[in-house]
Amino acid sequence: MTDTSTAERTAREQRASRATTLWFGLVLVGFGLLMTLNQFDIAPAIGIGRIWPVAVIGAGAAKMYESWGTPSAGSGVGLIMTGVWFLFVNFRIFGLSYHNAWPLLIVGVGVSIMWRALLEERGGRNRREDVDGR
């Protein structure tokens, strides 16, 4: 029993590490392409100060991938929603600013909590491992 749980934990950690590494590589490739396009005057660079929430969205996506089908995926949902909120505020989409958009963060926390509760109710704690062996 200990060997099985240790093997499962090791496999889970390897998946998490792989997802994080893939995301980090994707961010570097995207950043490098943006800078290259800027150097050739093909597309002006958007200040990194405005697009940094994309990294938060990516971290949330990696978290969701590594824990899909378990209540822990709610943390990924929360990170994604937080990153989207910051993007909307930074680019003033729908006229949102830090001053008028803060209540949406409360909505995001609520959705994350509900996601976790719904999966626990459905018995989703180990569903991913049971279904596809990952």
pLDDT tens digits, 54-102:
888 888 888 888 777 777 777 888 888 899 999 999 999 999 999 999 9
Identify the pLDDT of residue 127.
Answer: 47
Q: How many structural domains compose the chain?
A: 1
Identify the pLDDT of residue 45.
Answer: 65
Q: Is the pLDDT of residue 107 over 60?
A: yes
pLDDT tens-digit readout, 2-50: 566 777 767 666 666 677 777 777 877 887 887 787 777 777 766 667 8
Burial 88-119 (b: 16+ CB within 10 A, else e): bbbeeeeebeeeebeebeeebeeebeebbeeb
**Domain residues for 91?**
2-132
Q: What is the pTM of this model?
A: 0.61
**Residue at token pair 């949406």:** 104
Contact present, 62 and 23 (Cβ < 8 Å): yes
- Determine the Cα–Cα distance for residues 64 and 132; give it in Å rounded to an integer: 16
